[in-house]
Amino acid sequence: MTASWLDLPHSLPAEEQRLVLEGVTWQQYDALVILFMNQFPALRMTYLEGTLELMTTSPEHERLKTIIARLIEAFAEELDVDLNGYGATTFRQEAAACGLEPDECYCLGELHEVPDIALEIVLTSGGIDKLKVYQGLGVQEVWFWEHQHLSIYSLIDPESGYQASATNQLLPQLDATFLASFVDNPNQTQAVKAYRRALQA
């Protein structure tokens, strides 16, 4: 198994690939993060209480992540929202035995230890429940892009977990359905320009 993972391609595979391993200690996960993450940018690692999921992202995954991030950042610029991003940084919390890399993530105001908002692109099912991981990290909102729809989950109570929210709690002026209508434009620059014009209007 070690040789196969060391042979992972640096380029993106055509389809997402997923491997779930059980009985992985925190120390093993920590060592794998250090070993792999700088060498394989297409690799995502999610850890929760001894279960480790390794997933390679596809070009479509990365395209969606990029255009949605550009639209979110255009929104912040147009409405003068102080939004700062971490990208796909690895966040880990040993006490909660969890860790992952969001597809994109942001803090309101200055960057702090854990992002306020995380974005996840979902093209395939299965694997670890990422909301449980985000709950352990204390991320306030998680946005899932799935089936051409942007769903928002808010951490109302850290003990009871996330609740689906019809409105955005942290960015109440952002209309998720409206933003989603610009995602499928094949020209990302034109999509962002059109979104900016709509916000200005």
Split at pLDDT 50, 70, 90, the class of 14 is low
- Judged against a pLDDT cut of 80, whether residue 13 lies above it is answered with no
- Domains, the chain, ordered by start: 59-200 (3.90.1570)
- Judged against a pLDDT cut of 60, whether residue 154 lies above it is answered with yes
3-state secondary structure (DSSP) of residue 41:
coil
Element housing 20 (H / E)? strand 17-21
Residue 82 zone, left/alpha/beta (φ > 0; ψ -120 to 50; rest): beta
pTM equals: 0.89
